[in-house]
Amino acid sequence: MEHAGWLLLHLCCAIYWLGSDLVVYYVSGFIVDRQRSAAERALAARIMLWADMLPRTAVVLTLPTGFTLAWSLGFLSLDGQSIFAIWLFAAAWLALTWAVFLKERTELGHRLARFDFALRIAIILGLAFLIWRSARGLGPMPAAPWLLGKVGLFAFVMALGLVIRVQLKPFGPLFGKVLAGTAQSADEDALRRLIDGIKYVVWVLWAALFVAIYLGLAKPY
């Protein structure tokens, strides 16, 4: 595939990532709306969880499409076998991501989620090491600030995703009370504070993603 095709795929990851994130952002408002029935809020939560799988999928696919695009443009000194290995890794990671979602309420799902969390930390550290090596002229990428910055922003966005995952831990127990009809005013207030607090992190994530897209398209320096 020509580099234009890889660019299109890479941009589609960003488009679906941001687009579905906007859906999640909007629907989250229905979840904390006390004027809506428990059934309406439960439906909003299901929509949010399914819509959230698009950005989760896009995160995974951004990695191999980005590396392949850089390779096709001559910005990554790897052979075809290494690129193929990156795609195999991404396929396994994507399968893990969906398994975590589909098995969410099971013990297996909890174990897979912990493994996925650790894997993402390892990927973030690996990308940081790649940037450090390449900045010293020892890695497979040129020491181009725009490229290193783009990879660094992707790692930063992944880290913010982990922050959001940690922030969301109280969501299940709080929303469970809403569905059971046992939520007190303090529980509703805590649920709204939780969602509002996550929105600030999401805004930073979006800003970082926009800058990363700009760096990839403009290659300013």
pLDDT at position 219: 87
pLDDT at position 158: 96
Q: CA–CA separation, 16 vs 134, rounded Å?
A: 30
Structure token pair of residue 169? 């831990």
Mean pLDDT of 97-121: 95
pLDDT at position 1: 61
Residue whose token pair is 């959230």: 52
pLDDT at position 154: 96
Q: CA–CA separation, 194 vs 20, rounded Å?
A: 20
pLDDT at position 67: 94
Please, which pLDDT band fits residue 141 given cuts at 50, 70 and 90? confident
Per-residue burial over 3-12, b = 16 or more CB atoms within 10 Å of its CB, e = otherwise:
eeebbebbee
Dump pLDDT digits (tens) for 162-192: 999 999 999 999 999 998 889 899 999 999 9
Domain ranges of the chain: 3-218
Dump pLDDT digits (tens) for 50-72: 999 999 999 999 999 999 999 99
Which of 129 and 183 is assigned the larger pLDDT? 129
pLDDT at position 5: 87
Q: CA–CA separation, 161 vs 158, rounded Å?
A: 5
What pTM value is reported for the model?
Answer: 0.92
Which of 162 and 4 is assigned the larger pLDDT? 162
